[in-house]
Structures are given as structure tokens and as C-alpha cells.
A and B are shown apart, each in its own frame.
Chain A
Amino acid sequence: MAAWQAWGLLAGATGLAAYLFLLKVRPRRIRIPSLLLWGRVLDDKRELTLWERIRRAVSLVITAAIALALGLAFLRPARAAGTTETSRGRVAIVLDSSWSMLARTRGGGTRWDRAIADARRLAAGSSGGEIALATTADGLVEGPTNDLALIEAALDRLTPAGPGAAALPRIAGADSVYFITDGATARPRDETILVRSVYESAANAGITAFDIRPSIGGTTAGEAYLEIGNFGPAQTVHLTLDRGGVQVLDRRLDMGDGEILRQTVGLERGGDPSVRARIEAPGNALAIDDEAFAWFDRARPVAVTVVGQQPAWLVRLFAGNHDVNATFVSPDAYRPGKEDVVIFDRWAPKDPAERPALYFAPPADSWLLADTAVEQKPHWQTAGTHPVLRGVDPFTLTIERAHAYKSPELVPIAQSAAGTPLVYVNRAKDGPRAVVVTFGPADSNLTSVPALPVLAGNALAWLSRPLDSTARRAGLASFEESIVKLTAPGGAAVPLSRLPGETVGVLRAPGFYVAEGGGGGRTTFAVNVSDPEVSNLARTSAGAAEASTPAGGPGQRPWWLYCAVAAFVAILTEWWTWLRRITV
């Protein structure tokens, strides 16, 4: 609606309300005694009170004001962005949804509130052109549309969702692109993009790095690295570290202005694998970086059941391996249990195992359907990129014979020069994982070569944990193809999509995520903010030349909503006063 039309509508509504108010109510015709009539006339001769004198005028004003408020709520006007209207044509509004936008401002709101308020102003000033709304985390979220109400609704539901893509979302055909940001995360951007800053410096303390990695040398099973930054005046930061809810560290750190504290902590085997670091500080404008998470996968050994008649070679393999807790049973005594992985040594059940399984030279009468063809002295040819083969050195492996299997669920990942599969994995995404090695210790020098511990270690890791548990960053994340479910910290499922060779999903919030592979393998991994760019609220990459939005109120609701609320209150109140003849 054009401005003159809006003004006309408001004037018309107000005028019509006034006109209706000024209509005289036709008095009810009743017969009364003349004495009573004259008695009333004599009564009216007394002096009117002030309220009685202004009552009608006040009533008129209230009536018109209600009409005006309702008109404004219908028209949803907004102050034009800046001093001029935004460009005509298609307008793209891109909101920086980095976590730093959650920083509290002196006005009591957040940078995000200011960004939303600014986006509303821009949308309102778009002069009827199409508006597209995008965020750095989600890309295009609404539009392009002429319907301002849809933009309003979208702005209502948006929240900061982490770093997102490094580049700004692109809106084809946009005549003007506004990027509303605090400049905490530097992004490459086109010169034509109009940056609107919501930056306001704030003091903050945050965890800027936290991760656990397994030790290779050394005496501990793992090592945690923790970094805390104090981006503001000197203050005392209270740090706690807990493992599975049990506090393992409680320290008060006197940190100077801009001080970065870095610390490593050795982790012993055993205990809970979930580790959380938490800080509290008085000068702390951002809450989301006060907690960080890490998952120590090697805290718990992989439970393995070895089923076979002659498992001595596997006994030797797992002896002294703290990452594997192996139990050895004969085929007759084997009952499926809750082990992480079953190893079938030259024996296999008639039906596929209910748990992830590693098979060495399974016999012909198993579910794997051995082919009668046996290749003598096969030469391992394919290097293979599958995680089970990573680092396996076929150089040292001499194989006397290898079997082929016919099960349609098996996919070879390593083959001989003649094409005989040497290692299979199963393709079924909804059943337990399986790795089948087509030769055993009697068919090869497997027991004495470095390839065995690497192959077995890889296979156990792949079978028991569908992902590695290294901390990941928020945003679009890539997972193995076999991941079928990803659960976010709140318990909600993360939507996944399958791309060639990978599964992708968007990690939005910090915390522990659980990834599940087809067939029950589960891995927990952590997502953290852990970014000085987010935690350091005293710096911005948005230059001084770039427009700074006026500090809005703490609320992010449009002001016409307050008109509607006022109208509601006025209509309700006026009903009472009119009934009681306080107003007319």
C-alpha cells in the first residue's frame, strides 16, 4: 500500500469513528408524570463537574484513538531504514547468525535483538518490493516475497545458529543486499553489500578451545587441551571440569585483561567418557561459550567376544591391549550377547550375527555362502581407501589362499590382482556392520605381520564406533555414508541427507551429539563454540564506515503490536466505562 493510501485509511478510520460517535442516540419514548420531568429539570440547574464537562470530549478521543490504533495494527507501518527508504526492487536481508550475536548489550537486549529490529526496519522500508531473508547459518529462510507478514513471521522464529558458511548466502537478482552483523566473524564480502553493524563492545570470558586426543606416547591414555580467554577487565574466573557428572577440577583463576590461559590435562583410562568444562565470571556478556564438551572414547575398552577353536593368535594380539577387552569362547559355547564386536575365527553362525562382527576365513556352510573358487597365492593389489584398510601394509602380507563369498550384502574393499576379494564389508545399512577377511592364519602369514594389528584395530574401531569422536565444529558437517541417525544435544534428530560417499547434516548447537550407524553402532562426539572470534566481544571486523544501526529497545517485536495491545486494553476498559456511563 502506498503511503498516501495508508495515511488516507488512517484518517478515514479515525473520521468514521468520530462520526459514529457523534451520532445522537434516539431517546427511548416513555411516558412519565410531568412532576418528575420538572423535578429533573430543576436538578440539572446545578453546576456540572469537570469530568461531566469533558466526558464527551474524552470519550470521542478514546473512540478515535482506538480506531487509529486498529488502523495502525492493520497497516503495520515501520520507520524507514536510516534516513531514506531502502532501494526499490528486490531487497535481500542477511542476518549474521554467529553465536556472538547472542552477546548481551548495555540496553539489556542482545546484538541479535538489535539485528532483528533492524531487519524489521529494512523490511518495512522496502517500498513494496520483494524481500528475501537469509542468515549466514541457514541461507535463504524466507522469500523472496512481497508479503511482509511472512517476513515478520520468519524474523520471529529465527535464532542464532552458529558459524554457518564462510561466505554470505547469495540471493539472485537482489538489487540491494543488507548484511546485519556484529563483525565478530570476518567474512569475505562483495563491495556492493551494505553492512549494518549491531556491534557494541562487551567484556566476556569464554572457553576458546577444548578437545581430547588419545595419547600415542606417554603414560596417560589421553590428553585434554583447554583454553580460556578473558576478553575484558581483570576478573576471577571460576573453572570446573567434570567427567560424567563427577567434578575432577575446581579452580578460581585470576585472569588479567586479555589474558589467555592454556592448560593440558592427562586423562587416565576408565571413568566416564563425557567431559565438560564450565566457567563462571562476573564480566561475561556471552553465555554460550561458558561451557565446552569433549568425549574421551578410549575411556572404555571395546568389548570383544572371540569365537573360534584355535584363537591363540588372537589371544596374543589382544594381550596387553588396553583398548580391547576380549573374551574367548568356543563355537559351541557362543551365545549372542551385548559385546561391541564379535570376532569369528574360521567359524561363522548360520545366520548373520546380531552384533557387529569381524570374520576371518569363515567356512562354506555359514550365511556368507563361500564360493568353491579359491585363489592360490593371491597378491593384494588394491590399496583401498576404506577406513578398515587405512594404514594396512599389504607389502608384508603373504597369502597362500583366499576364498570368495557369494552373499549379496558383501562389498569387496580389497582384492587380489585376479579380482578375488580379500576383505569385504557388508552393504546393509540397517543391519550390524560386518568385515569379512577371506583368509585366516592358516592361509597366510597374517599372525606375524604388522598388517594384522592395524587391520584388526581398524576393523574393531569401524565396527564398534561408526565415527571418530574428535570434537567437531558447528555448521554443515560430513559423516560416513553409513550414519543413519544423528541426535542433537536436546534429543532432537538432526535431518540428514545423503550425498555421494557421505551423509551430511547441520550441527547447530554445542553439546554432545550421538551418531548411529545402521545396525546399532553408536558414537558420541562433541560440538563446541571454542572460537576466540566469538568470545572476544571487544573487537569487530565491521569498519567504522559501515552503518551502525541505532540502538533499539531490548524487544524485538514491531511497535504496531503495541498499538494492537493498547487497542485491546482500551476497548476492554471503554466497555466498562461506557456501560457504567463514565464515558459516553
Chain B
Amino acid sequence: MMSTITWTAPAALWLLALVPVVFLAHRLARTNFNARQGLLQASLRSLLLAALVVALARPILSTRSSRQSIVYVVDVSHSIGSPAIETAARRIDELNAALTPSHSRIVVFGANARPLESTAALRQLAQLDPGAEDPTHVDRRATDLEAALDGARAELAPDHIPRIVLFSDGRPTAGDTRAAMARLALERIPVSIEPLAVRSLGDTWVAAIDAPEVIHATASFPVTVTIGSQRDGTAQVELRAGAKVLSQKTATIGKGVTAVVLDATIDAPGDVLLEAAVVVQGDPLAANDRLRRAAWVDSPVRVLYVEGAPASARYLSGALTGAGFDVTVRTPAALPATPAGLDPFDVLILSDVARAAIPGGAMAALPAWVQNGGGLLVAGGEAVFGEGEGGYRRTPLEGLTPVTFERKDEPSLALVLVLDRSWSMAGSAMNLCKAAAQAAVDVMADEQSVGILTFNDKFDWDVKVKNVGKNRDEIREKVGAIEPGGRTLIFPALEQAYLALRNAKARAKHVVLLSDGRTYPDQYEALVKKMVEARITVSSVAVGPSADQELLRSIAEWGKGKEYMVADPKELPQIFVKEAKNAGTPGFEERELRPLVKSPSFLSSVDLAHLPPIQGFTSTVMKDSAVEVLGTPDGDPLLAFWPVGLGRTAVFASDVKNRWGARWVEWRGYGPFFSAVVHAIERQRARPAGLEVTPGPIRGTTRAAAIAVEARDGAGNYRDLLHPIVQVRSGAGATRDVSTRQVGPGRYEATVMADAREVLTVSMKGDAADQAPGVTRTIVPDPVAEYRLAPADEPFLKAIATATGGAWRPAPAALVNAPGDRTTDRRPLWPILFASALGLWFVDLLFRRIRVFE
């Protein structure tokens, strides 16, 4: 057996240097003892002094020992049933019988820990009614694993090899188990685990309430209420905020846990207490059927909705308002012209707004506003996009969006001008008509195609559909050679235009029909609708009062084009130029198609599997690094996102109204879809002064709460030398002010002690609160946590065993000492040495009173 000696005060050993003085003095002795006795006396005195010196150095003898001390810690809190406690008693007996440790103890615990004499006492305890007075004085209304492990640590015999065996369900409701684990791990005390079954009552309880981190007032948000149950059944789940019922649902619940998702809406911003309740028929324990948690509700998301066609704004406006957004609808002219003007809003929606309708200042203000966190959604429509003067190509807005407004497969336009050359057009009207056609050809891009079809009672292709580029002069020349004559017969000419464009390779196919007279009735509607089906649009120009305005208006309407009533032929060149430009630049396609989902997890809260078809969309090109969420079967983006500085932008390439989105506005997912899109881009407003409240572990009836205030200015700089004050209220008690103190740049802290059974509310006050008024944090206690009878938390219990080096469900072999397991048995030697010195003193005296060796 290895032994070592440690010295408590080793400096005292220097006194040993004085011991030889005894022999030196002996040489000068005047006593008359014989030399041998004199030597004996000197030796005795030296020994006596040496013993005293060594005792003063206070040595402790340490010897290696393999004696074992086992403490069994048994959870007897109310969540543990009697059979489980009896099982624990049986296991303890088995382990003790197999191990026969030198020392063993039993500690039982709930909210506190107490030693117990024997397993017989433990069995008696198991038989006690949970409500009966407990002779062990264990408070069984809570589970404090820290108290249990600390209590077990205290019961371990000193100088023994320590073993702790914990019997528990691993569901602490108080104390800091992590700290206790850390202490035991640092002391190398292994904790082996025997999981205990919880009391089985066939009970149902509310286990948890999960709400989104950010909740906006008036906006719907999902709340997941987790119901724990020991049986299958049907439960009525209700969610309240104060007295107001937010939502309720009947759900089928199974044994174990069932998550029930409820949609809730809170009307006003601020701090709210959400309370979930479950009602199940025949539930034996009512106390655990309710659970509360705090939530902070922000102001509603403020949306500025700028609609190019204000009459159609009601669809999206209504949907967003219904979803809790604070929506302001404006016309494009009322768009704020400065970033400051936009700052009150979190999201700006530009829907079907023509480039020309956006004031110059507003266009310039957008980038700065988005860079600083604003969210921008650009929705499509007829008025938007394009390369020309009226489009967004190469505008600041295009720089912000995830798409560019170019046409990805230009040349894109095939335009047929169907011109009336009857007699009635002769003169200046004809000349102006020819000049207008030539002007239209002039503004067309080289790669675009044009055809000139003139008609009277018959039709002629003055210019067959051909590329403008190198034919521009020739086309101009042929237009110039058109001569009037004959009567007006529109239908065959229009049919020819259809036949010419039907199979033409162009993204946009457009017909401009010009006439100043009347024609015979025919199957115009059928023809034009066939043209629309072939993606050919038709605009009409009625010249003068003699024109068949009703027919031409109808043709434009059927043909999804524009109608022009021209009193003065001088307007014709302007109209033709506009038509030529717009026909090439609108970049929209009007056809029914079903959107394809490209990134299914992006808008996870929306049912993307059942998106209705759209009737048209604006054609754009994705930027390289933008995220495409929806697209067309042809590869055009429909919904795309893009980050810009601190902000995010999105483009919805169809419209949000009843034209292309006619099926969408009827879809019940319309509101949730656009709510999700707006939420995805909404401004994340960082609070200049942040308030964190971190609850500490419950100890007895109190808990500490650490409060931290983080203060910065708008630019992110620390705000120093403030005196933030927090108001603290515990339960219904009076509010008290607590000063925080600065601990680092921009950071202020305080700690408060509070009654762990009461709701603790902390709110900002003082000079740091100016930028975060009304910010409140609440800690809600769960007084019946012990009675939420969830099964043993095995992962947590295994973590305790792993961290401390213990075993899971230990067999006796796992608890026996390993070959190298030795502890140190310490014995202080100085009491023995003092006793020896006293004895030596008597012997010393004796040998001065008797003579020996004579």
C-alpha cells in the first residue's frame, strides 16, 4: 500500500535544525549522570523536540484505499409513481447486495434532498399518499436535480471511491442541473443513471407553447401548442390572451405528444401572456391543463401599396389588411420622393405602375431606402417593364430588383399594320397615315419584323412580314407608294394578318388596324379571339367620325389591345410610334399557365402545391444570384427575391389583381401567399436599445434574473455613459425601478431577485429607453411544471451519465472499482505526535530521576 505524507505547515520543519543543540549542550552538562545515561537523556530530549517539530508541521498521512462509497439518489417528486420508487428500492438492494460497498447512503429528493435510513423507509415513502405529510420532510412538489446531486455529494464518505446512482425521470423544475453536473465532473464523481417511470394516471396536459419570435399586431401568426397525453383521445385546445380567446381547435391526440397548430391574432402591440388550455373528457388532473408564456407583439408591418390601377387595389389591400398588415394605398403620384418619406413604411409594393408614373425624386429615393432595410415588392401588369422610354430598363429600380427588364430572346416583335386605303382616306389622311407607318418603322429595332397590309374591298401585302433591319428604306419606300382607292372591307385583311402572324417566330405579335369607314358585319369576334389564342394582340385606330367606332372598339377589346379614336389625322404618327414601341417593349405574355415551384421550402407557410394558374405575366430575366421561387414552364421567373444592402426586394411577374391573377384573387391562399411574400421582405427594425432578461435557476422560492441593456445609436455606435433604468414588477406587486450599471461599451447590466412563483415583468425606462419605448420582457413561471407528466427524458439523463463518466442503467459490474480505482485515506498525524511528545516528556523526566547503567 503506497503512503505519502503531506505537510500542512512545512516551514515548521526548519525547527529541526535546533535539535542538535541538545547534544551540544550535553557536552557542557554539570549533572553527574554517567555518560551512557547522559547520552540517553540527550537522545530522549532530541526525540521529544523532533516529535514536537514534526507535529507543528502538521503532517497528514495519505494511504491508498479502495473503499467505496455509494449514494443512491431517488427522485420522489410527485411526477414519480409509487411503483417506480419501489423499483428503485429493489434496485438499490440488488446493487448493495452485489457490491457490498464500505459505505452507502440513500438520499431522496423533490424540491429538496434528505437522507433516508434504508430501502425499507424508501418503500414506506412509496406507499404514502402524495398529499400526505411526509416524515422525511421532502418537498415533493418540484424536482431539483441540483439539490439532489449536491445532496448526494455531501453524503459521500470522505476518502472513499465515490459513486452516485441517480434514479429520476430527468425532468427538473428547479435548480441548475448543469452547474451540479459540472461540479461533479470536475471532482471526477461518476453519476450513473436509472431512469424512473412517471406516474401513470391517463392524464393529458399542455406541454409547451411555441410562437414565432416576431409577432406583429393584427397579423395572423401560428402558435404550436404541444399536448402531452398518457392516452389516445380527442382534445379541445384553446388559446387565450388574457380574457380573449384567440383560437380554439378540436384535435385528435395520441399517447405521447401531439402538436396542435392554432392561428392567432393579437390586436395591439406590447407584452401579452398567451395561455393554452386543453380540455379532455375524464382528465384526472386539472392543474396541468393550462400553460402560460409571454410574447412580445410588435407594431403591425406598415405597407405602402402603390397601385397603377387604383380601382383594382382592393384585392391585395384587402388580403393584406385581413392578414394584419397596416396597408396604405396610394397612387403613383403620391409616392414619397425621399427616403425619409418612405421610412415610416416597412414594405413598398409597386403594382402595375408605369415608369413614367413614378416621380423622378421617388425613383431616386428608392435605392437608399432599400439599402437601409426597406422591403420592395414590384408586381407586374401591363403598364410596367420594357426597354423603351416607358420601361424600367436601366433605371434605379431595375438595379434593386432580382430581375432585369430586358427581353431575353429579342428580336421579339412581329408587327402588322393593317391600313385602310379606301377612297375616304384620300388626301391628307392618307398622307398622314403613310407618314405614321413610316415613323413606326423608324422606331422599330433592326431585329424586329413588320408587315404592311392595306385594304379596300380587297387586300394587298405592300410589305410582307420581314425583318426591319436592312429593309428599313425599302419598307419606307413601299409605304410611300400606297395609293387610295375602293371601298372598305376589313375582315379579309384582318384574317390575312392573322394568317401571316399565326406561325411567326416572335414573342410579341401585334396588329394595328386603322380604318375610317364602315364595313360589312362578319365573324370579327371569333377571328380576333382566335388571334388572341395565337398570342396576337390587336389595337385599333378609328379615324374620323365616319369610322365604325363600335366595331373597332370591340376589336381592340377582344384583341387585348388599345383603341384610339382620332378626330384629327395629325395624331396618327404619334399613335403609330407609341404602338410600335409598346408592342416591342411591354414584355408581357397573356396566356394561361400554371406556375412552377422552384424553391419549395422558401415560403414554407404557403401551400405552393395548389397554386392556381395565372393568365399572364411580365417577361423578365433573372439576375445571376437572385433566388427564384416560382417560374413559368418556359423558364421565365414569376417570383424572385434579392438582397440589397440591409433590405430585400421581390418581383412578382404576374399581377396581383383580377386580370392575370383572376384565379388567384379567388384562391383562398391568395392572402397567405402575399402575406408570406411581404413578411419575407419586411424591414427588420433593429432596436437601438435592446433588452435581454435571462432567468436564473429557481432556488427555493426565488430566482435571479439577469437584465442586460444593449444601447447603440442608429449607426451602430455604442451609447455610453447612460443611466438606463428598468422597471421590474413581480406578480401583482408594486413596480420598482432598478438601475443598471455600465459594464462595457454600450452594455448595461443589473440583476434582480424575484419570487419564482410570480410573473416577472421588466421594461425599459431612463435615457436608453428613448429609442425603444415600451419594450418589455416577461418571465412566466410554471407552478405546476412537476405535474406535466412527460416520460423520462432519457437523452438528458444519458448526458449526465456521459458528462460525469457514469453508466446508463448500471449493472453491478459497472459500479465496481476499476483496477486503477483508488482513493486516498487521509489521517492527520499530529495529534499522535503531540501524544507521543507528552509521553516522551514523562519518560524524559523519569530518566532524570533514576540512575541506569550503574
> Using a CB–CB distance below 8 Å, which chain A residues touch chain B?
13, 16-17, 20-21, 23-26, 28, 63, 66-67, 70-71, 73-74, 76, 132, 139-140, 142-145, 147, 149-150, 152-153, 156-157, 165-167, 169-174, 186, 188, 190, 208-209, 211-213, 215-218, 223-225, 227, 262, 264, 379, 381, 393, 395-398, 417, 445, 448-450, 470-471, 476, 495, 497-500, 504-506, 530, 532, 561, 564-565, 567-568, 571-572, 575-576, 578-581
B421 at the interface (CB under 8 A from A): no
Shortest beta-carbon distance, A525 to chain B, in Å?
13
**Contacts A67-B838, A396-B625; is A379 near B601 (CB within 8 Å)?**
yes
CA distance in complex: A20, B844 (Å): 10
Whether A581 pairs with B704 at a CB distance below 8 angstroms is: no
**Told that A144-B154, A209-B741, A506-B186 touch, could you supply 12 new A-B pairs with CB distance under 8 A?**
A13-B838, A20-B849, A23-B846, A24-B849, A147-B828, A157-B8, A209-B742, A212-B745, A225-B743, A499-B799, A500-B803, A564-B834
Whether B851 pairs with A150 at a CB distance below 8 angstroms is: no
Question: What chain B residues lie within 8 Å of A74 (beta carbons)?
Answer: 831, 834-835, 838
Whether A264 pairs with B849 at a CB distance below 8 angstroms is: no
Shortest beta-carbon distance, B635 to chain A, in Å?
14
Whether A25 pairs with B851 at a CB distance below 8 angstroms is: yes
Whether A140 pairs with B841 at a CB distance below 8 angstroms is: no
Shortest beta-carbon distance, A52 to chain B, in Å?
15
Question: What chain B residues lie within 8 Å of A71 (beta carbons)?
Answer: 838
Whether B721 pairs with A262 at a CB distance below 8 angstroms is: yes
**8 Å CB interface, B60-87 against A:** 60
B677 at the interface (CB under 8 A from A): no
Shortest beta-carbon distance, A569 to chain B, in Å?
10
Interface pairs (29), CB distance under 8 Å: A23-B849, A26-B851, A71-B838, A73-B55, A74-B831, A74-B838, A144-B158, A145-B158, A156-B9, A172-B107, A172-B150, A172-B152, A173-B114, A173-B154, A188-B753, A211-B744, A215-B718, A225-B742, A227-B742, A262-B721, A396-B625, A449-B643, A450-B643, A497-B803, A498-B803, A504-B182, A568-B15, A575-B25, A581-B31
Considering residues A67, A144, A171, A497, which has the most beta carbons from chain B within 10 angstroms of its beta carbon? A497
Chain B contact patch, size range: 35 or more
Shortest beta-carbon distance, B50 to chain A, in Å?
10
Shortest beta-carbon distance, B743 to chain A, in Å?
5
For B643, give its contact among A167, A393, A572 (CB under 8 Å): A393
CA distance in complex: A445, B625 (Å): 5
Question: What chain B residues lie within 8 Å of A218 (beta carbons)?
Answer: 715, 717
CA distance in complex: A58, B356 (Å): 123
Whether A500 pairs with B848 at a CB distance below 8 angstroms is: no
B624 at the interface (CB under 8 A from A): yes
B554 at the interface (CB under 8 A from A): no
Question: What chain B residues lie within 8 Å of A147 (beta carbons)?
Answer: 828
Whether B845 pairs with A28 at a CB distance below 8 angstroms is: no
Question: What chain B residues lie within 8 Å of A23 (beta carbons)?
Answer: 846, 849-850
B53 at the interface (CB under 8 A from A): yes
Whether B841 pairs with A17 at a CB distance below 8 angstroms is: yes
Question: What chain B residues lie within 8 Å of A171 (beta carbons)?
Answer: 154
B221 at the interface (CB under 8 A from A): no
Whether B744 pairs with A395 at a CB distance below 8 angstroms is: no
Question: What chain A residues lie within 8 Å of B48 (beta carbons)?
Answer: 571
Whether A396 pairs with B643 at a CB distance below 8 angstroms is: yes
B22 at the interface (CB under 8 A from A): yes
Whether A21 pairs with B717 at a CB distance below 8 angstroms is: no
Whether B31 pairs with A578 at a CB distance below 8 angstroms is: yes
Question: What chain B residues lie within 8 Å of A212 (beta carbons)?
Answer: 744-745
CA distance in complex: A441, B481 (Å): 59
CA distance in complex: A16, B842 (Å): 8
CA distance in complex: A359, B834 (Å): 70
Question: What chain A residues lie within 8 Å of B826 (beta carbons)?
Answer: 150
**Contacts A67-B841, A188-B702; is A499 near B181 (CB within 8 Å)?**
yes
**Contacts A153-B8, A167-B699; is A172 near B154 (CB within 8 Å)?**
yes
Question: What chain A residues lie within 8 Å of B26 (beta carbons)?
Answer: 579
Question: What chain A residues lie within 8 Å of B799 (beta carbons)?
Answer: 499-500
Q: Which residue of A lies closest to B155 (CB)?
A: A172
Question: What chain B residues lie within 8 Å of A16 (beta carbons)?
Answer: 842
Question: What chain A residues lie within 8 Å of B290 (beta carbons)?
Answer: none
CA distance in complex: A144, B158 (Å): 7
Whether A579 pairs with B625 at a CB distance below 8 angstroms is: no
CA distance in complex: A495, B183 (Å): 11
For A26, give its contact among B8, B720, B742, B850 (CB under 8 Å): B850
Shortest beta-carbon distance, B6 to chain A, in Å?
9
Question: What chain B residues lie within 8 Å of A172 (beta carbons)?
Answer: 107, 113-115, 150-152, 154-155
Shortest beta-carbon distance, A225 to chain B, in Å?
5
B413 at the interface (CB under 8 A from A): no
Question: What chain B residues lie within 8 Å of A565 (beta carbons)?
Answer: 56
**8 Å CB interface, B106-150 against A:** 107, 113-115, 147, 150
For B185, give its contact among A262, A398, A499 (CB under 8 Å): A499
